[in-house]
């Protein structure tokens, strides 16, 4: 966080935040570093029979069972038969879950002036998942927020929309 503090001191108004950059299906996404407890590296979750389509399975995490949300399946990206990187994410209420992604990169500082709200042309699923995007050199970084990715919230949204996707097939 020292990098963010130093950046905000140089920026009038201090309008910046730090995101962990990650990739799902080649696209660039970011999650606020304050919402990430740990990056576990490559893991293969244990499948759970009759789990919702967006659940990759579960893993053991510090003596607890951690539910894994499959980023590829959730975003409608074709599955690859391989393991993924696990981010341990915690929302503001203390609910913890895992997010399975293709790649985890650096923590990057983004300026509030480069933020754009979701486009009106996004489908309902992406509108529910995305918090907007930041313009980055060469591409945009779509913002994901822990509250929008909670397995319980996803299950509720899915039951309301009847938007079952393709089951996570790791």
pLDDT in tens, 123-168: 888 888 899 999 998 999 999 999 999 999 998 887 776 555 565 5
**Alpha-helix runs per DSSP H in 119-166:** 124-129, 146-149, 151-161
Look-up of token digits 């907007």: 132
Rounded CA-CA distance 100/79 in Å is 12
Tell me the C-alpha distance between 9 and 40, whole Å: 32
The closest of 50, 47, 49 to 58, measured between CA atoms, is 47
Residue 57 has pLDDT above 60, yes or no: yes
Enumerate domains of the chain plus CATH numbers: 2-161 (2.40.50.180)
Q: pTM for this structure? A: 0.84
């Amino acid at each position: 966080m020292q990098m963010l503090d130093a950046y905000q001191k140089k920026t009038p108004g201090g309008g910046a935040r730090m995101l962990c950059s990650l990739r799902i299906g080649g696209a660039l996404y970011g999650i606020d570093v304050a919402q990430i407890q740990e990056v576990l590296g490559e893991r293969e979750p244990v499948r759970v029979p009759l789990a919702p389509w967006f659940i990759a399975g579960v893993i053991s995490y510090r003596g607890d069972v951690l539910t894994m949300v499959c980023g590829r399946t959730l975003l409608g990206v074709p599955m690859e038969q391989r393991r993924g990187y696990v981010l341990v994410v915690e929302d503001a209420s203390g609910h913890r879950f895992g997010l399975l992604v293709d790649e985890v990169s650096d923590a990057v500082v983004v300026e509030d002036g480069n933020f754009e709200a979701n486009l009106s042309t996004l489908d309902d699923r992406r509108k529910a998942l995305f918090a907007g995007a930041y313009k980055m050199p060469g591409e945009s970084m779509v913002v994901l927020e822990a509250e929008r990715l909670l397995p319980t919230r996803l299950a509720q949204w899915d039951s309301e929309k009847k938007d079952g996707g393709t089951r996570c097939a790791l």
